[in-house]
Amino acid sequence: MAILVTGGAGYIGSHTVVELLAQGEDVVIVDNLCNSHPVSIDRVEQICQRRPIFYQADIRDKNALIEVFSKHSFTSVIHFAGLKAVGESTTIPLHYYQNNVAGTLVLCEVMAEHGVKNLVFSSSATVYGDPHTVPIVESFPTGATNPYGRSKLIVEEMLGDLYKSDNEWNIALLRYFNPVGAHKSGLIGEDPNGIPNNLIPYITQVAVGRLAQLSVFGDDYNTVDGTGVRDYIHVVDLAKGHLKALAKLDAKAGLVTYNLGTGQGYSVLEMLNAFEKVSGKTIAYQISPRRPGDIAACYSDPSLAKQELNWQAELNLDDMAEDSWRWQQGNPNGFAS
Ligand code: NAD
Ligand code: UFG
């Protein structure tokens, strides 16, 4: 019996595959490599001394998925495959709905046809929209402010309907806060295409000399130093959360929803300082206007995951900064280095 990991060549997927292999699981990856590099799979093998089975396929290609399901017996599916750039989603929304919503739909159809009914879904803190207060608990109202977020919310609702129609499904909706960091080996990490949208890859690319300076989007928020506050979580902690979620599903959990965050918010300038400390570099920055759609502060109350999954984040800000920096230094141009 194996675990199917869609999007397993990507950033969070590859780190989760490492944890699964380390736990002795058999892993099959389906990824179309639209936002990842096949070298990530070689690196996973290098770390684990075991190679996951890999199919380069699109999850919207039903025949390709059926072929994969006919070759392997799966206990569960961890579903990372999707597009994730908020800005891009506003310019090509149909592409986002096609990939994220239709892709999940096809996957669930094939799972149902093969009697595989345990699913872990990558959701996002973005489904909380602009929360009325922080920390955020799972019962807060949801609402999306962009097509990417709406695609996650639609999938959450679709999976809720699926569960209501058939209680044999066990589904974990994991709402990630801000994943950062990299595996301790420095062999896998985040490898964004083009100029990064997110803070940490931008900071590390300035530190390594690939980009000139960071724009800090706004210093007039009602936060500790005026810059935006987020709940950064080490990707290895996040990956381990998926293994705990799988165990919960094996125990017939039904439909469950968890925040995966640390519960601790850091500002942009606090992150910048942490990276300056570990890299020993001065990271040039300028204060720029607020980025449209950004909110002041977003951090989780992760206590439900602690109670019900026996999971909590263990790595701290120094670990996040050191591990991101090690990955960036060793791979200045990502997997293509
Ligand atoms: P990523 O882009 O590194 O990984 C996604 C992987 O899915 C890539 O390898 C890509 O090639 C693959 N993929 C995309 N569409 C596909 C398709 N139709 N068929 C097959 N493969 C496909 O992104 P990530 O950061 O690892 O994110 C993984 C999941 O977590 C995504 O669903 C994302 O929306 C969600 N998420 C990410 C963040 C974040 O900040 N990184 C936050 C919250 C939620
Ligand atoms: N920021 C800058 N300069 C930059 C990039 C970001 O100042 O060049 C600031 C932002 O204004 C924000 C903070 O850094 O205050 C974090 O921004 P990111 O773009 O790294 O992350 P977001 O919180 O905006 O969004 C991320 C993912 C979303 C996901 C969300 C919650 O991009 O997909 O976390 O999980 F939904």
Distance between Cα 230 and ligand 2 center (Å): 8
- When pLDDT is averaged across residues 2-21 and rounded to a whole number, the result is 98
201 Cβ closer than 6 Å to some ligand 1 atom: no
pLDDT in tens, 206-258: 999 999 999 999 999 999 999 999 999 999 999 999 999 999 999 999 999 99
Please check whether residue 12 is in contact with residue 176, taking contact to mean a CB–CB distance below 8 angstroms.
Answer: yes
How many Cα atoms sit within 13 Å of 200 on the Cβ side? 27
Q: Please provide residue 250's backbone torsions phi and psi, each rounded to the nearest 5 degrees.
A: -60, -30
Centroid of ligand 1 to alpha carbon of 24 (angstroms)? 24
80 lines ligand 1 (CB under 6 A): yes
Mean pLDDT of 278-304: 96
Q: Is the pLDDT of residue 16 over 90?
A: yes
Q: Are 298 and 128 in contact (CB under 8 A)?
A: yes
- Report CA(207)–ligand 2 centroid distance (Å): 18
Single-letter amino acid code for the residue at 309: L
Helices (H) and strands (E) in the chain, counts: 12, 14
Q: What is the mean pLDDT of the chain?
A: 97
Helix 62-71 crosses helix 103-113 at what angle (to 10 degrees)?
40
From 121, 291, 300, mutation site for ligand 2 pocket: most ligand atoms within 8 A of C-beta: 291
Q: Tell me the pLDDT tens digit for each residue of 118-130.
A: 999 999 999 999 9
* 3-state class (DSSP) for residue 288: strand
What local confidence, expressed as pLDDT, does residue 296 receive?
A: 97
Residue 173 tokens read as 């909706």
Confidence bin at 199 (pLDDT 50/70/90): very high
The residue-averaged pLDDT of 318-326 equals: 98
- Rounded Cα distance between 261 and 180, Å, is 11
Pocket test for ligand 1, best of 6, 12, 99 (most atoms within 8 A of CB): 12
Q: What pLDDT score was predicted for residue 59? A: 98
β-pair type (2-6, 285-288): unpaired
Q: How confident is the model at residue 337 (pLDDT cuts 50, 70, 90)?
A: confident
pLDDT, tens digit, 9 for 90 and up, residues 101-155? 999 999 999 999 999 999 999 999 999 999 999 999 999 999 999 999 999 999 9
pLDDT the model gives residue 171: 98
Whether 124 lines ligand 1, by a CB cut-off of 6 Å, is yes
Active site residues: 148
pLDDT confidence of residue 124: 98
